[in-house]
Structure 1
Amino acid sequence: MRPLNRILAVAAAALVAAPLAACAATAAPTASTIAVDVADGSPTGDAIAIPGGLQAGLRRGLDALPGIVRDVLERSGVPGMSVAVVAGGETVLAEGYGTKVAGKEEPVDADTVFQIASVSKSLTGTVIAKAVSDGLVTWDTPVRELLPGFALGDPYVTDHGTIGDYMSHRSGLYTGAGDDLETLGFDRATVLDRLRLLPLAPFRSSYNYSNFGITVAGEATAAAAGTSWEQLAEDTLFAPLGMGSTSFRYDDYLARADRATINALVDGSFAPRFQREPDPQAPAGGASSSVVDLAEWMKLVLADGEHDGTPLIRPEALLPAVSGQIVSSHPSAPGERGGEYGYGFNVGTSLNGQPTVSHSGAFLTGTGTNYRMLPGLGLGIVALTNGSPVGAAEAVVATFVDVVLYGASTRDWYPAYEAVFSHYFDPAGDLVDARRPASPAPPAALSAYAGVYRNDYFGDLVLSVEGDRLVGRLGPTGGFEIDLEPWDGDVFAFEISGEEAPPGSRSSASFAMAGGQAASVVLAYFDRWGLGTFLRAG
């Protein structure tokens, strides 16, 4: 099974030579001197100056932003987008563009609520920073102390994995761990319980983007607070900031009168084909919000945890979240920058040397989101869209930041990001490019394959004959259905679609026969970690 619900990490790394920076700051001016904004104290905060200064750059960016958004929406076909910009502790722009659902005249505005997908991770990092500030937990608190029944496949990792380990994707859980169970309809508790059955990458020395790793950290923090994750976030972050349209509950999103419907890209056009109910992984991807609300959150982060001049989160509790904790993207050549990940935040450096924190969010079924903050400038921008991830939100954010910092865009960001996201839409499965044999062997009678098959990780697979069809049902209520069609002898084919499987995905189901009936079946699509074998139980 191929993981698709992933973010685009900003590939950047900071390298500061302190003696060189100090010399540059004191060098005598010449006709070719580059203007540098010299930070108070350490030269690690120095950066190339913005042409005309920050206020001039901000005005350039704000003047250009409506045109940037309209251009990207026109080229991408994404139905709708809202954007907000904060600077100097104020929301200086909040606007909506396009429509809330493809094909209808329902204008997006600044208060329209979107599903924000993995931008949720940064909200989660902030909620946990608040819990650290309040003394409920530390970033180094072992999860096992808070969730005594939780375990992974390695006893050492089980006992020593901390909140910070899970928040920075260094727990050893592979990318996509548990996502397949969510796809089948299992709830959060079941997914977290079955993570113990999965293989692990090296602990603390490998980076693997994991939705349910983040979810583990959120659940552990909520346990320390004696409440649910959803309530903890509402009580400690959303309510104090006045973020009345923000929630980690999917039902709250559905209840909003002013909400954007997700629109999937299928056959070159966007349409509202799916629903995406992400409650099982709420801390990682389940939040919904508006740009007006997210602007309030960005102000908090940019003010080192202060809200309207009042401390909400201690700076020393928040700083680790927005600081690099692990290398998330290694350079492919000596001349390239790498990337780092904090606790729910991508951490990088802009071309002019300004530190950045950012995150993208993506649901293949119809959401693409992105924000970027430059703490040294007190500047942030967020863009939310209701279309599959094609790089539209990222392109708007990157172009705006370029105009502010450099006076013009450094490149055409939309096709650049579109190319990065394009592989998300490639069909998955071992039979995608395969052709059925010209003279396939006939299958046995369909009744020979019918029955109940058991799997410790995925649960039961129930196969039944319905007319001339062999139908499989998976998930806690059997709600995930696949049609198995003869392919070659005891090998069948089935198609699958959804968040992790773009249209056209096709996989094999290979039966092992014994005594005239199937004894087991391997569903190749679910066999990523060698767990796709289901044994007959009845």
Structure 2
Amino acid sequence: MSVTVVKDGKVLFKKGYGVRELGKSDAVNTQTLFAMASTTKAMTAACLGMLVDEGKLRWDDPVTNFLPDFQLYDPAVTRELRVRDLLIHNTGVGNADVLWAAMQIPQDEIIHRLRLVKPSYSLRAGFIYQNIMYLAAGKVIERVSGMPWNKFIRTRIFEPLGMARTKALFKEVTDANRAKPHVEVRDTIRLVNSQLEEGLVDAVGPAGSVWTCPDDVAAWMQCMLDSSRYNGKTLLKPATWAELIKPQTLVTDAEFYPTQQLTKPVWKTYGLGWFQHDYRGHRVNFHTGSLTGMIAIHGQLPDQKLAVYVQGNLDHAELRHALMYRAFDEFALGVSRDWSADFQKLYGGIKQRAKQAERKADSTRVLNTKPSLPLSAYVGSYTDPLYGKADITLQDGALHLSLNNIMSGKLEHWNYDTFRLNYDQFWNGHDPVNFVLNTQGKISSLRWGGAELIKTPDGTDKNTSGR
């Protein structure tokens, strides 16, 4: 991992720890590139702010002013949605990450399929974290500026701040001095050796595809603490910078971090690309980043001119939270608490309860049952306009599933017509897959991850574009 701390315009601490890849001796240093993941979102919001400063858009302009084809499930929400709403997770659209994490389709098609996602709540009546709206924000930047988001962010943020090693997209990361992702599976840490898995996030780049290192990110940290100023350059007008960190919407308990059980905030909000809460009478602006095998956190105590940035290459290593609060206490507030022990207990308890829940689910399995039909009857293609295509094949006497040629695995019979999908991509674990029979006793569909994919009658593919 790496840790960077800045205060009062100076770098107080900047150091790398551990190795870039398990089993190899290449050490992490201040030039090692890690994924910024969702800490990218604050940069995308700043890019939109620059266009606001130039008078090319306003925060409360309708999204359809810039993306005429943009459409959500509810036409009324489509009409009312504002640019600001793309950044604050309040559109009513629930998590739709399957559109980039479980398939490879063009960015415009990802946005097009949003019209198929039924709302989870009414517009601005709740908060559910949403990555694809940031992709739409990136498309607004492209439409207004005339250049793709990845070029805009490079020319308007990376270059002015001297962030020479920082890359906007994973596909641009060719330097050997980069961290490799790792996941802990059954108490064993394993390398995620998949360029495809790492590259999927590029499809929603404005939500989380930037890669950076401590030597570069220190400039971004100082810039965001100092009204967007750095080395004589100013990225944003003061009022626009203030808008970025102004509370925009309330965050529900269910959508906030388990850390609230220890920090006990009075209020929890979301700005433009920043979570916020109170801590010891001070406002904290922060955001985590999580991709398969990679983590980040960027935390600020703005009234103390203090910021900390942590990156790591182990999936959901929640030490990041402990380090952030430790930095706040150590470098600004003059208090002492063993955050490492407290967070280890908190997240250790969460992990233990998850294991107990899985054991409880396993205990409901009905033993000594058989599928309703011969395994060959389950073979075929299953489609859904939103979720894409699942292909079921029979190999060596066992069923195998391939979802959009991205995720695959063996189907182990569980009970009746329910199977357990053990992913070839081990970091995904396993999921239940349930087959549904029609009134003629034939397989009509399969259910996976909350979706129902319909079996094509002759094995040919139906149109899955959603159009």
Partner of residue 377, structure 1:
304
The Cα offsets for residues 64-104 of structure 1, whole Å up to 9 and x where unpaired, read as xxxxxxxxxxxxxxxxx112222222323322111111222
Counterpart residue number, 1:204: 124
- Tell me the distance in 2 between the aligned counterparts of 1:191 and 1:434: 38
Normalising by the residue count of structure 2, what TM-score does the alignment of the two structures yield? 0.87
- The residue correspondences of 1:375-414 to structure 2 (distance < 5 A) are 375-414=302-341
Residue in structure 2 matched with residue 467 of structure 1 by the alignment:
396
Q: Would the aligned equivalents of 2:170 and 2:210 in 1 still touch at CA under 8 Å?
A: yes
> Is residue 199 of structure 2 the alignment partner of residue 272 of structure 1?
no
Distance 1:114 1:317, change over 3 A: same
Distance in 2 between residues matched to 1:338 and 1:417, nearest whole Å: 24
Contact 2:88 2:273 in 1 (8 A): yes
Tell me how far 1:412 sits from its aligned partner: 2.6
Query: Aligned match of 1:298 in 221, 227, 230?
Result: 221
How does 1:136-147 map onto structure 2 within 5 Å? 136-147=56-67
Distance 1:515 1:430, change over 3 A: farther
Q: Contact conserved, 1:432 with 1:507, CA < 8 A, in 2? A: no
Q: Cα deviation per residue 1:234-273 (whole Å; 9 max; x = unaligned)?
A: 11111111111222211122x0221111111222243313
Whichever residue aligns with residue 267 of structure 2, its letter is G
Given residue 512 of structure 1, which amino acid in structure 2 is its aligned partner?
Answer: L
In the alignment, structure 2 segments of 5+ residues that lack a partner are: 254-259, 459-467
Q: Which amino acid aligns with 2:165?
A: S
What letter matches 1:155 in structure 2?
P
Q: Does 1:347 align with 2:276?
A: yes
2:318 is matched by which residue type in structure 1? G
1:211-230 matched pairs, under 5 angstroms: 211-230=131-150
- The answer for the alignment partner of 2:27 in structure 1 is 107
Deviation at 1:393, TM superposition (A): 1.7
Distance in 2, matches of 1:429 and 1:163, equals 41
The superposition leaves residues 397-452 of structure 1 with CA deviations (integer Å, 9 ceiling, x where unpaired) of 21121122332323434542663487479479999525543331344222222222
Question: Using a 3 Å threshold, how does the CA distance of structure 1 residues 414 and 283 change in structure 2: closer, same or farther?
Answer: farther
Q: What's the offset of the Cα at 1:209?
A: 0.8
User: Measured at CA, do residues 119 and 418 of structure 1 come closer, stay the same or move farther in structure 2, by a change above 3 Å?
Assistant: farther
Who is 2:461 aligned against?
none
1:278-309, Cα deviation, whole Å (9 max, x unpaired): 11221112111112211111111112122212
**2:248 counterpart of 1:307:** no
Aligned length in residues: 444
1:233 is paired with a residue of what secondary structure? helix
Matched, 1:522 2:446: yes
Q: Which amino acid aligns with 1:507?
A: P
Counterpart residue identity of residue 287, structure 2: H
On the 8 A contact 1:452/1:462 being kept in 2, the answer is: yes
SS in 1 for 2:177: coil
Aligned position for 2:375: 446
2:170 matched to 1:250?
A: yes
Q: Distance in 2 between matches of 1:354 and 1:187?
A: 43
Task: Give CA-to-partner distance per residue, 1:318-371, whole Å, 9 cap, x none.
Answer: 2111111011145999x85121100101123330x33321111122x3112112
Amino acid at match of 1:361: G
2:251 is paired with a residue whose SS is strand
SS in 2 for 1:384: strand
Change (3 A) 1:199 1:466: same
Relative distance call for 1:356 and 1:485 in structure 2 (3 A) is closer
The amino acid across from 1:358 in the alignment is F
Quick one: structure 1 residues 447 and 245, their matched pair in 2 at CA, closer, same or farther if it must change by over 3 Å?
Answer: same
Counterpart-to-counterpart distance in 2, 1:248 and 1:229? 9
Q: Distance in 2 between matches of 1:83 and 1:100?
A: 14
Contact 1:181–1:458 under 8 Å retained in 2: no
Could you tell me which runs of 5 or more consecutive residues in structure 1 were left unpaired when the two chains were aligned.
1-80
Residue 196 of structure 1: SS of its match in structure 2?
helix
Distance 2:303 2:386 in 1: 46
Distance 1:252 1:417, change over 3 A: farther
Q: 1:513 to 1:489 in 2, by over 3 A?
A: farther
Tell me, yes or no, if the aligned pair for 2:409 and 2:424 is still in contact at 8 Å: no
Cα deviation code 1:442-484 (max 9, x no counterpart):
4422222222222111122222223312222221xx3432322
Q: Could you tell me which residue of structure 2 aligns to residue 128 of structure 1?
A: 48
Which structure is larger by alpha-carbon Rg, 1 or 2? 1
Q: Distance in 2 between matches of 1:161 and 1:424?
A: 38
Distance 2:7 2:70 in 1: 42
Contact in 2 for aligned 1:390/1:421 (Cα 8 Å)? no
Give 1:470's aligned amino acid: L
Structure 2 residue aligned with 1:511: 436
1:481 aligns with 2:405: no
Shift of 1:194: 1.0
| Aligned residue runs from structure 1 range 234-245, under 5 A | 234-245=154-165
What's the C-alpha RMSD, in Å, of the aligned pairs? 2.7
Deviation at 1:127, TM superposition (A): 1.9
For 1:36-115, what aligned pairs fall within 5 Å after superposition?
81-115=1-35
SS in 2 for 1:481: strand
- Structure-2 separation of matches of 1:422 and 1:248: 36
Other-structure match for 1:13: none
| Aligned equivalent of 1:74 | none
Give the structure 2 partner of residue 161 of structure 1: 81
What TM-score do you get using the length of structure 1 for normalisation? 0.76
Alignment check: 8 A CA contact 1:125 1:345 kept:
no
Aligned to 1:495: 422
1:177 aligns with 2:96: yes
Q: Distance in 2 between matches of 1:417 and 1:145?
A: 48
Corresponding residue SS for 2:362: coil
Relative to structure 1, the CA distance from residue 233 to residue 336 in structure 2 (aligned partners, 3 Å threshold; closer, same or farther) is closer
Which residue number in structure 2 is paired with residue 69 of structure 1? Answer: none
Does the residue aligned with 2:315 lie in a helix, a strand or coil? coil
Which 10-residue stretch deviates more, 338-347 or 120-129?
120-129
